[in-house]
Structure 1
Amino acid sequence: MRDLVVTENITLDGVIDASEGWFNPGDAGETDLSDVLAALEAQREAADAFLVGRQTFEEMRGYWPHQTDDPTGISDYLNTVAKYVVSTTLQDPQWVHSTVLRGLDEVEALKAQAGKDIVTTGSIKLVHSLVAAGLVDEYRLFVYPVVVGKGARLWPDGSPTTTLHLAETQPFHSGVTLLRYRT
């Protein structure tokens, strides 16, 4: 059985929606992100599957395959890893190593296969569905020292009480902190 890991960039007040402009690692300026990039690389090495919803998939497909000078390794990873997109409307993913899953039952079947971690990021609607279905094994939250006051949250209002177990904390030079929780 594989672990399904939700990885999110998140604000102190729980917002994962970056539309307010709080998340822009390319604008880090003098901030040293090498330790964050090392943590992301370790996560990539522990995973052999990447799971996203259709909207996030299409945004990534329009960007990452075209990056030819990416020192972070993210482009190479996304172009080679097995990608799974949950969608009822997408027919042809048009990105190498991509498979369309039609629902959460297929995600559950993917988890039952042998392999490394399955990582999902972004994909707010999908993540909410995965949480509600009890399919998440671990949360890796890159907490940014920002409060935005509005936006989509990892756990929206009305979510049931959930007890998580702290597995790791890792502060970074930039002020970001990785919190790993197991369900």
Structure 2
Amino acid sequence: MRKVKLQVQVSADFYMGGPNGEMDWMHFPWSDDFSAYTQHLTDSVDTIILGRNLAEGFIPAWASGPPEETQESIDFMNNTPKVVISKSLTESPWENATVAADLVPTVNELKARDGKDIIVYGGSTLVQDMIANGLIDDLYLFVNPTAIGSGLPVFPKTGGNRPLTRVEAVPFECGVTAFHYQPKQA
């Protein structure tokens, strides 16, 4: 069975965006060791899951071929099939993307397919819903050396503990640290 991997940039106080989704706290430029780590993660997947809000900016931004990105990264982002989770869209306005409304059955069906693993990039509502429903197998939290005080949390407020096992913690030359966790099995 394929794994679902969450890859998300977070602030030092574990917000994945400012109160209005701001990302101006992210630490750039990324170092070669950081790029190699994310490339290794990207090489292990063949499907991307996004929430509608993120997809509306993410898909067109990659389609325009951002100049700061390598052609290999641009090709991966544009050519990899995407599933956009949305209750408001009924069909995809984007190439190489499908829309699904029902999160749990959609993700479980994707996990049951043959192929490489699946990566989730966000947004916050989608990530929290996936964590709350136990759909994430690996969490890759890229902690940026900036605290923002408030914003969009990664983890849902469920009133209970969510035990995780640390797989690794990798500091990069650019100041970002990757924390790879897996949910503890009951």
TM > 0.5 between the two?
yes
Secondary structure, aligned partner of 1:73: helix
Say if 2:55 is the partner of 1:46.
Answer: no
Matched letter for residue 33 of structure 1: S
Counterpart amino acid of 1:38? A
Report the CA distance between 1:67 and its aligned residue.
Answer: 1.0
The offset of 1:92, in angstroms, is 3.3
Structure 1 residue 11 displacement after superposition:
1.4
Is residue 7 of structure 2 the alignment partner of residue 14 of structure 1?
no
Query: Contact between 1:167 and 1:181, CA under 8 Å: does it hold in 2?
Result: yes
**Deviation of the 1:59 alpha carbon:** 0.7
Specify the alignment match of 1:106 in structure 2. Answer: 106
Structure 2 residue ranges without an equivalent (≥5): none
Where in structure 2 are the equivalents of 1:66-81 lying within 5 Å? Answer: 66-67=64-65, 69=67, 70-71=69-70, 73-81=72-80
Amino acid across the alignment from 1:149: G
For residues 64 and 159 of structure 1, what CA distance do their matches in structure 2 show?
Answer: 37
State how far apart, in whole Å, the 2-side matches of 1:177 and 1:13 are. Answer: 13
Cα displacement string for residues 91-121 of structure 1 (whole angstroms, at most 9, x for unaligned residues): 3323332111121111111112122111011
Distance in 1 between residues matched to 2:173 and 2:66, nearest whole Å: 27
Cα separation, 2, equivalents of 1:172 and 1:11: 15
Question: Per the alignment, do residues 178 and 159 of structure 1 end up closer, same or farther by CA in structure 2, a change over 3 Å counting?
Answer: farther
Secondary structure of 1:51 counterpart: strand
Equivalence for 2:56: 58
**C-alpha distance in 2 between matches for 1:175 and 1:160:** 31
Contact 2:81 2:97 (8 Å CA) reproduced: yes
Instruction: Please say if 1:153 is aligned against 2:156.
Output: no
RMSD, aligned α-carbons: 1.8
* Map of 1:175 onto structure 2: 175
What is the TM-score of this pair, normalised by structure 1?
0.89
**CA distance, structure 2, for counterparts of residue 121 and residue 9 of structure 1:** 9
Partner of 1:23: 26
Q: How many residues align?
A: 178
Shift of 1:21: 1.8
Cα gap change, 1:159/1:138 in structure 2, threshold over 3 Å: closer, same or farther? farther
- 1:84 match: 83
- In the TM superposition, structure 1's runs of 4+ consecutive aligned residues that sit over 6 Å from their partners are none
Match of 1:115 in 2: 115
**So what's the TM-score if we normalise by structure 2?**
0.88
Range with greater deviation from structure 2 (170-179 or 88-97): 88-97
The question of whether the paired residues in 2 share the 8 Å contact of 1:4 and 1:118 is answered with yes
